[in-house]
């Protein structure tokens, strides 16, 4: 399906983009806006209450057309169809990629190996509804009969970042008596800090591990189990632990009733799994109705991605702009800045989505690539980050494209807070685009009463190069539906990038080497076994740590 013996950077469309870059590289966005008063309308796409404004980018109609030609030459339409049809587009692991099936609200059949997967998916959703409602209504209680109001999700990677991000994003929808906690880090502090805050009689633990063998997750789970058993006895485990897994044998061995095991599938990668039973903590916090509204929002974006022409397709244009900057301008990083405190974990979630998916250097033809793939992604909540890394974004030597995300209406309309927030996000995008020349800086200081000598001395320090690109997402309000749309857009963007770069976005083999080596070092730290087979630095550090621990 993916073809053989070709390199993306040898395609005709790629070569055309290289020529376009040479002609266009020094074009100023402020000049583009001056020439076209309707630029924002031309370079914006809306889907229901979500608008993606990409007018503050270093493109024109010719560049956009060249980028679209690249998508066409990579047969993007066929690849999208293949994903939705359940073909095994995860080549290295020979798996289908069907997180879209998890939120297939149209319920059309989707087949994997000739079998419609929708009945099983809907069965698990129904089981999630039954269980979450029983807990929220106090019908499923703890060992001593108390209502379970502390939800502790134990997982790592996609089994942690997705649910944690979504629960925080939808905090205003939590049941009043519910509290959610997340344990992922193997550092014992992560466990200790959560266990110190909760009452065992009122706590439900959700262990999220497909194989039920992930060392970090199982170590944390066993620590929590011991804490519970010490407080309530061995028989309490079945009333205070549930599992999201496929390994019924190990789940039962842990002491969990297999009736309280929620299944998910090989065609769902960890970082794409919050739409599945991995999202049980979300359903418990906000209710299954709101969880399904999140699925509805994602489905709306899925259908837009599948059916809209590429020129009016939000994820496709997001991806093409990213490739334009990564591979032609050689910008090696991007920032995501949500101007909504509830979205504070979105950048961390997207770090995994983008860098684990596309942080690859070998293509689908088993060749090392000769072009850039995933950028480094970082970010944080505005306005806080304006006082941390925005200095570098505005005046640093590296150009870092930004995505701004902002709701028009806040859940907390307190005084002038939201208007000030909105003013800040709009100002940042405009400032990055326009910049400030040394002449403008000089004249501004003179008007402010500075002496000519001082203005001359400071004008370079107070100038901004501008011409720094950004996208802005505006939606009405952060609700479950809007969250689903937003996250699905970034998922599909990541997929499109992988298609263009001709890499497998759905494996994560780079995660494995460090884990394998950790397993060989662990016995040396636990015992007095001699340090062996390590480089001099690692052997020295092992000895140093063992000496300090003694």
* Segment 331-338 mean pLDDT: 98
pLDDT digits (tens, 9 = 90+) for 277-301: 999 999 999 999 999 999 999 999 9
DSSP code, position 132:
H
Q: Annotated active-site positions, please?
A: 356, 387, 515
Q: What is the mean pLDDT of the chain?
A: 96
pLDDT at 531: 63
Beta strands in 136-259 (DSSP E): 150-154, 179-183, 203-208, 241-244
pLDDT band of 3, cuts 50, 70, 90: very low
Least confident among 53-62, 379-388, 525-534: 525-534
| Chain Cα centroid distance, residue 202 | 31
Q: Is residue 4 pLDDT above 60, yes or no?
A: no
pLDDT at 2: 44
pLDDT digits (tens, 9 = 90+) for 163-172: 999 999 999 9
pLDDT digits (tens, 9 = 90+) for 503-537: 999 999 888 888 888 888 988 888 877 666 899 99
pLDDT at 356: 97
CB 273 within 8 Å of CB 236: no
Given its phi and psi angles, is residue 254 left (phi above 0), alpha (psi -120 to 50 degrees) or beta? Answer: alpha
pLDDT at 5: 59
Rounded CA gap, 11 and 286, in Å?
A: 48
Q: What angle do CA 463, 469, 470 make, to 5 degrees?
A: 115
CB 178 within 8 Å of CB 148: no
pLDDT digits (tens, 9 = 90+) for 59-69: 999 999 999 99
Rounded CA gap, 314 and 307, in Å?
A: 11
pLDDT at 385: 97
With 0-12 / 13-18 / 19 or more C-beta atoms within 10 angstroms meaning exposed / middle / buried, residue 145 is exposed
pLDDT digits (tens, 9 = 90+) for 72-121: 999 999 999 999 999 999 999 999 999 999 999 999 999 999 999 999 99
pLDDT at 9: 94
**Domains with residue ranges and CATH for the chain:** 8-73+308-434+468-507 (3.40.50.10490), 111-292 (3.40.50.10490), 511-549 (1.10.1390)
pLDDT at 511: 86
For residue 469, the tally of other CB atoms under 10 A from its CB is 24
pLDDT at 92: 93
* Segment 220-236 mean pLDDT: 98
pLDDT band of 1, cuts 50, 70, 90: very low
């Amino acid at each position: 399906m993916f073809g053989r013996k070709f390199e993306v950077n040898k395609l005709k469309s790629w070569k055309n983009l290289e020529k376009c870059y040479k002609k266009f590289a020094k074009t100023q966005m402020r000049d583009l806006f001056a020439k076209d008063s309707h630029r924002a309308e031309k370079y914006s796409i809306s889907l229901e209450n979500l608008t993606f404004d990409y007018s503050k980018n270093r493109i024109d109609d010719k560049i956009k057309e060249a980028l679209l030609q690249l998508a066409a030459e990579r047969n993007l339409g066929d690849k999208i169809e293949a994903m939705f049809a359940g073909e095994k587009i995860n080549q290295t692991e020979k798996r289908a990629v069907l997180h879209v099936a998890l939120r297939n609200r149209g319920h059309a059949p989707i087949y994997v190996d000739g079998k419609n997967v929708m009945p099983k998916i809907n069965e698990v959703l129904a089981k999630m509804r039954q269980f979450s409602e029983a807990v929220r209504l106090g019908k499923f209680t703890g060992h001593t009969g108390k209502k379970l109001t502390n939800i502790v999700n134990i997982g790592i990677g996609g089994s942690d970042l997705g649910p944690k991000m979504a629960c925080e994003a939808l905090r205003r929808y939590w049941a009043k008596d519910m509290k959610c906690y997340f344990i992922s880090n193997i550092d014992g502090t992560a466990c200790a800090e959560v266990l110190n805050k909760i009452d065992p009689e009122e706590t439900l633990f959700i262990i999220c591990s497909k194989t039920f063998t992930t060392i970090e997750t199982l170590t944390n789970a066993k620590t929590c189990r011991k804490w519970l058993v010490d407080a309530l006895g061995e028989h309490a485990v079945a009333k205070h632990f549930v599992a999201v897994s496929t390994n019924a044998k190990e789940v039962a061995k842990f002491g969990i009733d297999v009736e309280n095991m929620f299944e998910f599938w090989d065609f769902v990668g960890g970082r794409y799994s919050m739409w599945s039973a991995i999202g049980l903590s979300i359903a418990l916090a906000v209710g299954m109705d709101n969880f399904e509204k999140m699925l509805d929002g994602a489905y709306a974006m899925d259908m837009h991605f599948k059916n809209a022409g590429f020129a009016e397709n939000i994820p496709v244009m997001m991806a093409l702009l990213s490739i334009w900057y990564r591979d032609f301008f050689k910008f090696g990083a991007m920032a995501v800045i949500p101007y909504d405190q509830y979205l504070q974990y979105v950048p961390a979630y997207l770090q995994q989505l983008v860098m684990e998916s596309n942080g690859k250097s070998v293509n689908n033809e088993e060749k090392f690539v000769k072009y850039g793939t995933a950028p480094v992604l970082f970010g944080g909540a505005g306005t806080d980050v304006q006082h941390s890394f925005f200095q570098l974004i505005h005046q640093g030597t590296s150009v870092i494209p930004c995505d701004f995300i902002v709701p028009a209406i806040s859940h907390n309309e307190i005084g002038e807070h939201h208007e000030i927030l909105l003013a800040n996000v709009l100002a940042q995008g405009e400032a990055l685009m326009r910049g400030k020349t040394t002449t403008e800086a000089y004249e501004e200081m003179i008007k402010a009463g500075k002496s000519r000598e001082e203005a001359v001395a400071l004008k370079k320090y107070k100038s901004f190069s501008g011409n720094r690109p950004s996208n802005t997402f505006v939606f009405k309000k952060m609700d479950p539906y809007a969250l689903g749309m937003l996250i699905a857009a970034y998922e599909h963007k990541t997929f499109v990038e992988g298609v263009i770069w001709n890499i497998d976005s759905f494996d994560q083999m780079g995660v494995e080497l460090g884990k394998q080596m950790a397993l060989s070092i662990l016995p040396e730290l636990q015992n007095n076994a001699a340090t062996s087979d390590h480089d001099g630095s690692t052997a020295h550090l092992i000895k140093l740590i063992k000496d300090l621990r003694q």
